[in-house]
Structure 1
Amino acid sequence: MSSSDIRTGSLEKPVDVAEYLFTRLHQIGVRSVHGVPGDYNLVSLDYIPECGLDWVGSVNELNAAYAADGYARVKGIAALITTFGVGELSALNGVAGAYAEHVPVVHIVGCPSTISQRSGMLLHHTLGNGDFNVFSNMSKEISCALARLNDPNEIAAQIDHTLRECWIRSRPVYFMLPTDMVQKKVEGARLATPIDLEEPKNEAEREDYVVDVVLKYLHEAKDPVILVDACAIRHRALEEVHALIEKTKMPVFVTPMGKGAVNEEHETYGGVYAGASSDPDVIKRVEGSDLILSIGALKSDFNTSGFSYRTSQLRTIDFHSYMTVVRYSQYPDVTMRGVLKKVVERVDTSKLNVQPIAHKQVIETPSEASGVITQAWFWPRISKFLQNSDVIITETGTSNFGIWETRFPPNATALSQVLWGSIGWSVGAAQGAALAVKDMKAKRRTILFVGDGSFQLTAQELSTMIRLGLKPIIFLICNEGFTIERFIHGMDATYNDIAEWKFKELVTVFGGTDERTAKHEVKTVDELNTLLADKEFIAAQKLQFVMLHMPKDDAPRGLVMTAEASAKTNSKTE
């Protein structure tokens, strides 16, 4: 009897490694798995339906990574499977974006057998140098945990630990799964006990001290406000944020990356704060406050209009997933959810000096007498089209900045990639988001706003949406190229131009039928108003593809100002 037989015989309930891994994915909320097949992952893919999961199969690994990102932002967590070397490297850009923006994606890479690795065999998809860890080492820098599943005695514990890290830290993790480990036996009895996904609690004494300090400054403040940013969403602190708003009635603002974090119809909501390009009344209120409770901040250049905040750290309390900062005092490992809960419990509302919102950011649709669909007209107009619980995806470019001027309905979910800013991300993300909605059996529309330049990078993912029977509404902004790049540098440069595609025809090319898809093209305000009032279009019972024509040299105000700041940053010298 071999040692492996002895180990298997000692197991209470032996299961194959792949079954264990995919069962755990199902237990933590994954229902669909994105990826591309390759010979090093094929056997493991056979286990996906057996574990109650659906295989998606994207057109390429980059799109699959973008889709997993979008799926995770709606469903809570996602899984991505690629093959060794060629597949995983194609996905790396998308995984890096998930890491930068705090999105939990499980990246599983099928790799050569442990025997092949030990022998240093000259295999396909390798660099030919016998180094089988070179690609996992690349992923190490964009993963919060990495597990090479080489030893059956350790694999089950490795899987459980790594998946917990993915959820708790809300960032990608990486599994290296050799072909000869896929069907090795591990202890399946562990599956009866769910992975503990509870966030570690703060050390009580330190947390209480921080809460007391926060309350001291909050009770002394004359005009406190709340500013909610992306990490409040990513690290699941919105329940605490909403409780704070309801109890204190403090004015609340969101950053561009924080869109959708709070109910924009709430009486205390003041608007989007993004530094210098914000509405003047918003700037006055936020920057004039004597205490800003900043929750989950990601102060990137595009999120702050080129670092144009005019706020002082002396007037700021920062709540993060890894620390709390009160003015210039840092409290490492005292995380925001625990602190915010106790602040809500202990705040004395009779001691608060809350100044109500006198001037909300007004979202009004200006008239457009020319009939041309302009950025300034379009984004406020979309406010009236949106519905409760819509999932709204905007591409890096005009859409990311234009959406500032759109008022969201309650329970809307916003997806954007302001920090990483990979052109074309939104198309894959929309596929993932729409699939997550479908997996959740939710009655929610998925709406994508993307420019023609960005769309050309990842257009193939439209075919996946059609194949899966997804029903997003896609507004393709046709303005002849890379608008955001034009405003940063090269307004008329040929490198910012794109080929003229017959975009609507792609719906047919990728398998769309009249029963499952609809194509539209609008060039005037009247045509768009008619479409936005159409009951069938509003109902979104099929995929709707809209070619929306806008002027080439037109851009949202926020984009213009941020592009100017970006150009100055790019041109700085010592």
Structure 2
Amino acid sequence: MSVDIWEQGLKTPVPVAEYLFRRLHEVGIRSVHGVPGDFNLVALDYILKAGLRWVGSVNELNAAYAADGYARTKGISALVTTFGVGELSAINGVAGAFSEHVPVVHVVGCPSTISQRNGMLLHHTLGNGDFNVFANMSSQISCDVAKLNKPSEIAGQIDHALRECWIRSRPVYIMLPTDMAEKKIEGARLDTPIDLTEPPNEAEREDYVVDVVLKYLHAAKSPVILVDACAIRHRVLSEVHDLLEKTQLPVFVTPMGKGAINESHANYGGVYAGTGSQPDVAERVESADLVLSIGALKSDFNTAGFSYRTSQLNTIDFHSDHCTVRYSEYPGVAMKGVLRKVVERVDLGKLSRAPSPDVKNEVARNRDSSEIITQAFFWPRIGEYLKENDIVVTETGTSNFGIWETKFPRGVTGITQILWGSIGWSVGAAQGAALAAKDAGADRRTVLFVGDGSFQLTAQEVSTMLRHNLKITVFLIYNEGFTIERFIHGMEAEYNNISRWQYTEVPTVFGGSDAQVRKFVVKTKDELEKLLTDGEFIEAGGLQFVELWMPKEDAPRALKITAEVAARNNAKMSE
């Protein structure tokens, strides 16, 4: 076989696919989600060679959900699909990652550069000769698009894409043509790791912002810290915890920020979501004369229908690409450096502190005389079942809102999708999160809470859980349909009903043996108590599947409040 002139000049020739997958390994990825297709098959041969594991997902949408959960747990993830049919099946999951600032590397195997240049009428295309249409779609939900068409540029494109994915904490799209997968590029570059350090702020501008922040912080009489999702996604939790430890200020989280703070800390005050908050939490945050808001994503469900009663005049917002102090915005000044200097320079002698509300799992207060398992009882009780360092995945719907009432032990990772809110996401995300923990060598339980309606969308992902022997405990809430939709509109509407499945038989259908899976049906508080105190169940040696019965017309307090606001917003006439 002839060797290209380009390849003759290489010091260490390496196939493009090998280079790409070795770079994925370098940034911390150990498992690659996806589905094989004829345009990615040759590339897939290099996954094992790069020290990676091929997950073997059941479909591309579930693979994208799983990649999302993997990245939230391990820091970054990878997804491989085929051109057109595969990537479009995944695009909803990738869009969710973009919406919620989750770094996913989406690699799409596509037709050869020759086929593209000639506009050939190939399968998996729209039949119009346009090979860029799908990349153009994905460009709207990716922070970088790399089309690997020219060998001389490919290594630089890959390195740039992975850096952008990490720094900006959002998906990137890499288009790998079949005739490029085995083209040789310079492997010597692999000796130099990709620079993943975040660009520093301009020192003078950063110092100015720090001085302004400290001026208001020192003058405040009742300041509080409010931590949101982007504090997690943009990796400032160490700075946040340092700020908390040094200042001992009251600290609260939003629903999307749950798990960001050690909830066993004496200064932890609970979940703030406007009118969806517990009354003492709302009173404490809304009466503060300064709110240090870190990584805010003020979406409707994250704020219980935009119901914050805090003033921008009393708020300092810290973001990944700017800071806002009251009504003054400082573009290009990222929060990481600012927070670090605030911690270093804060004068504790000038700092005022007021106490936080006391947060407990209010089990006894929410236990009535009935044996029915209510939402109000269940979520605080789960707080007593959870262990340190658990991974807790909650589905859009009752679980997302119920978990607000659960106080986490130290080290719990909370995974939820409140902004994008794609039902069924949590099943794939739980698989990805559990696999990420396994890849990290961590002995952690993954606990999934999902409604029966949502589960039916992505139930096949149980097959992948079994395939990789993952330690996942599934609490399937059986309440006869789409509960959040019922509370927004149509409590008895046919479209909110679902078919009754034999849920505990699902793992069996997907090949789970009795040795692999433990199955339970729980209908009463006493049965729940017996299960949650069972030593073997707590240990969670493999897949555990719990069908948990709850009333059809019951929902968490916060969901009822938010659904009412959503219904009003949906009903508004145009002005």
Superposition TM-score tier, normalisation by shorter sequence: over 0.9
Match of 1:82 in 2: 81
Give the drift of 1:507. Answer: 1.0
User: Which residue number in structure 2 is paired with residue 128 of structure 1?
Assistant: 127
**1:399 CA displacement:** 0.1
Runs of 4+ with deviation above 6 angstroms: none
CA–CA distance in 2 between the matches of 1:162 and 1:566?
38
Question: Is 2:192 the partner of 1:193?
Answer: yes
Q: Look up the match of 2:358.
A: 360
Residue 39 (structure 1) aligned with residue 50 (structure 2): no
Report the residue type matching 2:470 in the other structure: L
Q: For residue 261 of structure 2, what is the aligned residue in structure 1?
A: 262
How far 1:481 moved relative to its partner? Answer: 0.3
Match of 2:498 in 1: 498
Partner of 2:171: 172
Overall identity of the aligned pairs, in %: 72
Letter in 2 for 1:356: P
Tell me by how many angstroms 1:467 deviates: 1.0
Q: How is 1:150-229 mapped onto 2 (pairs within 5 angstroms)?
A: 150-229=149-228
Other-structure match for 2:453: 453
1:94-493 matched pairs, under 5 angstroms: 94-357=93-356, 359-365=357-363, 366-493=366-493
Gaps of 5+ in 1: none
Aligned to 2:537: 537
Q: Which runs of 5+ in 2 are unaligned?
A: none
Corresponding residue for residue 510 of structure 1: 510
Amino acid at match of 2:214: L
Cα distance in 2 between the residues matched to 1:250 and 1:56: 44
- Matched AA of 2:425: W
SS at 1:449 equivalent: strand
Look up the equivalent residue of 2:358 and give its one-letter code: K
| In 2, Cα distance between equivalents of 1:99 and 1:65 | 11
Contact 2:104 2:165 in 1 (8 A): yes
The answer to which of 363-372 and 106-115 deviates more is 363-372
Q: In the alignment, is the contact (CA less than 8 A) between 2:315 and 2:325 conserved in 1? A: yes
Q: Return the letter of the residue paired with 1:120.
A: G
Counterparts of 1:191 and 1:361 in 2: how far apart (Å)?
49
What SS does the corresponding residue of 1:364 show, helix, strand or coil?
A: coil
CA distance in structure 2 between the aligned counterparts of 1:361 and 1:303, rounded to whole angstroms: 20
Q: Would you say 1:568 and 2:568 are equivalent positions?
A: yes
Q: Distance in 2 between matches of 1:84 and 1:367?
A: 53
Aligned pairs for 1:58-69 (under 5 A) are: 58-69=57-68
| TM-score for both structures, normalised by structure 2 | 0.99
Deviation at 1:360, TM superposition (A): 2.0
Amino acid at match of 1:169: R
- How far apart, in 1, do the equivalents of 2:554 and 2:5 lie? 71
Q: CA deviation at 1:431?
A: 0.4
Residue type matched to 1:297 in 2? A
Q: How far 1:367 moved relative to its partner?
A: 1.8
Question: Residue by residue, what CA displacement relative to the aligned partner does 1:493-514 show, whole Å, maximum 9, x if unpaired?
Answer: 0000000000111111001111
Shift of 1:5: 2.2
Is the Cα contact below 8 Å between 2:452 and 2:478 reproduced in 1?
A: yes
Give the secondary-structure state (helix, strand or coil) at the position aligned to 1:383.
helix
Segment drifting more, 4-13 vs 378-387: 4-13
- Conserved 8 A contact 2:359-2:407: no
How far apart in 1 are the matches of 2:423 and 2:4? Answer: 51
Distance 2:400 2:495 in 1: 22
Partner in structure 2 of residue 553 of structure 1: 553
Contact 2:106 2:174 (8 Å CA) reproduced: yes
| Equivalent position amino acid for 2:306 in 1 | F
Q: Deviations over 1:191-237 (max 9, x none)?
A: 00000000110000000000000000000001000000000000000
Residue-by-residue CA offset, 1:449-482 (whole Å, 9 max, x unaligned): 0000000000000011011111200000000000
Number of residue pairs aligned between Structure 1 and Structure 2: 572
* Distance in 2 of aligned mates of 1:100 and 1:142: 8
Alpha-carbon distance in 2 for matches of 1:297, 1:277: 17
SS of the residue 2:122 aligns to: coil
Aligned counterparts of 1:338 and 1:472: Cα–Cα separation in 2: 37
Q: CA-to-partner distance for each residue in 1:59-87, whole Å, 9 max, x for gaps?
A: 11000000000000001000000000000
CA contact (8 A) 2:361 2:384 kept: no
Aligned to 1:524: 524
Which secondary structure state, in structure 2, belongs to the residue aligned with residue 530 of structure 1? helix
Supply the distance in 1 between the matched residues of 2:507 and 2:15 (Cα, whole angstroms). Answer: 41
Quote the Cα distance in structure 2 between the aligned partners of 1:434 and 1:158. 31
Q: Deviations over 1:211-268 (max 9, x none)?
A: 0000000000010000000000000000000000000000000000000000111011
Equivalent position SS for 2:105: strand
Distance 2:511 2:173 in 1: 34
Aligned counterparts of 2:478 and 2:156: Cα–Cα separation in 1: 50
